[in-house]
Amino acid sequence: YAPCSISTNIAGVPVQIEVQTLYPFGEDIAIHVSSERPAHFSLQLRIPTWAQEATVALDDQASEHVREGTFHMIEREWNTPTSIHLHLSMPIRTQTRYANSMAIERGPLVYSLQFNAQWRQIGGELPHADWEVHPLAPWNYALEIDRAHPERSCTLISRPVGSMPFSPEGAPIQIHIHGRRVPTWAIEHNAAGPLPQSPVHSTEPREELTLIPYGCTDLRVTEFPQTYTGL
């Protein structure tokens, strides 16, 4: 789903479909269908497996629940302009990864740590040069999170979608979560060393961290150890 429009012919009838949405950041999708004269065809809406509370409504009708992991079919004669409202709920989820670490997901996006980076040109000539990217802030954090109920440990921050949403500065969605540094998890061979086995113990101060969509980052820490809560 993305903002788009299409003009086509179905059985010789001119049909226009327009999609208005902030997906993959927002949960709502508006689809407007119109035809120059009555036309019978089916419209199939993909319902992702993570959208377990998805609903759909036509015009002013009541919303109905649609099953995740399916294509929801609307088959009818389209003879007047019709608006379809699709709501894809995006709960925050965790996925268990290597060394019992975790990744944070919301809807179709996975989230990574936000931190400043420095770009160093090491060869070539602009604009096709070679670069190294170095972190300018700590990155080796373990998260304090209730894996069974991650929404209790996270605060979701929404911002307007700008012209460069997939950039560190323009990320429309942030997830704020608490964590602690893990000093033994360090740089090895100019990259993050092996993940420590979770859960980990850390006596470092508790800090509020900001996660942004993976595609918005330059340097990425996406799989995190988990630390004991309350320590």
| Distance (Å, whole) CA 202 – CA 145 | 14
Lookup: tokens for 126: 């602009």
Report yes or no: 113 and 172 within 8 Å, Cβ to Cβ: no
| Distance (Å, whole) CA 192 – CA 189 | 8
Please write down the long-range contacts of 94-101, taking CB distance under 8 Å and 24 or more positions apart. Answer: 94/145, 94/147, 94/150, 96/147, 97/223, 98/195, 98/223, 99/194, 99/195, 99/196, 99/197, 99/198, 99/225, 100/197, 100/198, 100/199, 100/226, 101/195, 101/198, 101/223, 101/224, 101/225, 101/226
pLDDT string in tens for the chain (231-residue length): 999 999 999 989 999 999 999 999 999 999 999 999 999 999 999 999 999 999 999 998 899 999 999 999 999 999 889 999 999 999 999 999 999 999 999 999 999 999 888 999 999 999 999 999 999 999 999 999 999 899 999 999 999 999 999 999 999 999 999 999 999 999 999 889 999 999 999 999 999 999 999 999 988 999 999 997 644
| Distance (Å, whole) CA 43 – CA 31 | 10
SS3 category, 102: strand
Residue (of 41, 39, 35) closest to 7 by Cα position: 35
Report yes or no: 185 and 223 within 8 Å, Cβ to Cβ: no
